[in-house]
A = this chain, B = another copy of it.
Amino acid sequence: MARVKKVASQSSPARITVQEVADLAGVSIGTVSRVINNVPGVKPAVIKKVQGAIDELGWSPNIAAQNIRTSSSRMIGFIFSDIRNSLYSSMTKGAEEVLSTRGYLLVTASSDGNPEREVVLIDFFKRRRADGMILTIQEENNNAVLAAIANSGIPHVMMEREIPMGSISIGADHFRGTRQAVQYLLGLGHRRIALITGGRGTRVARDRIRALEEALASAGIEPDPNLFCIDSFAAEYGLSQTQRLMNMKEPPTALLSMGVRLLPGVLEALQLLGKKIPDDLSLICSNDTDIARIVTPQITAVRYDALALGRMAAESLIDQIEKRTHEDRPVRIEIPTELILRNSCRAISS
């Protein structure tokens, strides 16, 4: 403890540079640079001397100076709506895992789902000379945002989004996931299946809607537009739409709640209405969360690995930046989903 205190009280370390290391080692700065960059062809004895000097002085290269020379920041930006959304914090963790081992810095930024702020953040990363970006933008067709992306000239991958610019896109297979969920419900005899989801104008939403429509069609069921609630991911939306649905003359017998934040709202509505799962309504949610496992009964879920999504985005982005896969890289990378069967759905006899 005393030792620590002493260290703590030392004055701010005078900025030490290669020059001083070189002097101490009795070599030139060029040699020091060669040593720390593992340039082959330096005499082992010299390497040892230099290492010694580096350790003794506790020096490490000034990264800003490196950046200015190599014109690369080794920093990549990740923009999404809100880090508090567990989906994004998981992706962040995954991305961080691979980026840190590759010597990149990950900087996350929350846009609060505001396109104007997205533009600001993209410009910000441009000024900061980010080497790459991972983007989960709000609307795939917002021109201001698309222009900002293009104008930035920064390599990027779209996370759970797809834009008309040939950017590489990465995401879960929501079409298959939703389709599988609907198939399961159809198998249980359900014919009135409702969907609550958001992200209008994103590939995620399109995939989910199309999956429901096609599954219904292939079962010969006419879709009821009143059962499609596709305007928001907010908990309040889940609440209000569930109330609306359950108060219909002919309410749905099953509901797909697709979006992390929706589930609490849906459950609250059901509780307020005194409706029981699965007796009054069969329920399937997306983004398997703590809540889905904690409530009684546990909720059947369409699960996918957000951590892996983050990892893959980072890997794909690095490949792109370091140009290791050239022009033959795929434009779309998908990970599978998995239907976790629990007790929130019941068979109905009709």
Q: Is the CB of B62 within 8 A of A126?
A: no
Instruction: Judge if A143 is at the interface, Cβ distance under 8 Å.
Output: yes
Give the residues in chain B near A149, CB-CB below 8 Å: 8
Q: Is the CB of A68 within 8 A of B60?
A: no
- Chain B residues whose C-beta falls within 8 Å of the C-beta of A7 in the assembled complex: 147, 150-151
A62-B129, A151-B58 known; A294 and B295 CB under 8 Å? yes
Q: A4-B165, A7-B147, A150-B8 given as contacts; is B93 within 8 A of A89 (CB)?
A: no
In chain A, residues 50-109, which have Cβ atoms closer than 8 Å to a Cβ of chain B? 58, 60-65, 67-68, 71, 73, 82-84, 86, 89-90, 92-93, 96, 100, 105-109
Q: Count this chain's copies in the assembly.
A: 2
B65, B107, B268, B290: the one contacting A106 at CB < 8 Å is B107
Which B residues touch A146, using CB under 8 A?
4
Which of B63, B93, B150, B268 is within 8 Å of A110, CB to CB?
B93
Tally chain A residues at the interface, Cβ within 8 Å: 61
Q: Are A90 and B84 CB-contacts (below 8 A) given A62-B129, A291-B290?
A: yes
Complex contact B153–A128 (CB within 8 A): no
Min CB gap A271→B, angstroms: 7
Q: Within residues 133 to 170 of chain A, which ones have a CB less than 8 A from any CB in chain B?
A: 143, 146-147, 149-151, 153, 164-166
